């Protein structure tokens, strides 16, 4: 079953540990690492949330905003070979 960090009793979605977003007009940096069913999100260099136990290991990438205009730039996607980066080493669960 899917486990969220920080923990969410609903299991489907968790809120960030803290708001790491910069102010209006400033660019944010997001790093998403997905390895063997573990997905971690860091915003501006610090882990904010993630999940483990995901059964979906391949698929589409969706970039979206929830109710506000958004711009994207410098998007880079790197496919990691299996077994190269253990999920726990991608970046720490909590700083």
The tens-digit pLDDT sequence of the chain (95 residues) is 677 776 655 555 566 667 788 988 899 999 988 887 888 888 898 888 888 888 887 888 888 888 888 899 999 988 877 666 665 555 554 43
* Alpha-carbon gap, residue 5 to 14, rounded angstroms: 7
- Report whether 49 contacts 86 (CB < 8 A): no
Scanning the structure block, which residue is given the tokens 């299996």?
82
CA 16, 58, 33, 39 dihedral sign is positive
Cα 90 vs. chain centroid, distance in angstroms? 11
Cα radius of gyration rounded to whole Å, the chain: 14
Per-residue confidence (pLDDT) for residue 65, from 0 to 100: 82
Phi, psi of 47 (to 5 degrees): -60, 135
- Confidence (pTM): 0.71
Q: Where are the domains of the chain?
A: 1-81
């Amino acid at each position: 079953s899917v486990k969220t960090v920080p923990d969410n009793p609903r299991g489907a979605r968790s809120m960030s540990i803290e708001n790491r977003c910069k102010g209006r007009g400033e660019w944010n940096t997001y790093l998403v690492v997905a390895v063997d069913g573990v997905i971690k999100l860091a915003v501006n260099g610090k882990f904010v949330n993630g999940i483990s136990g995901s059964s979906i290991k391949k698929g589409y990438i969706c970039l979206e905003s929830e109710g506000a205009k958004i711009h994207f730039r410098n998007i880079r996607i790197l496919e990691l070979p299996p077994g190269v980066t253990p999920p726990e080493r991608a970046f720490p669960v909590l700083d």
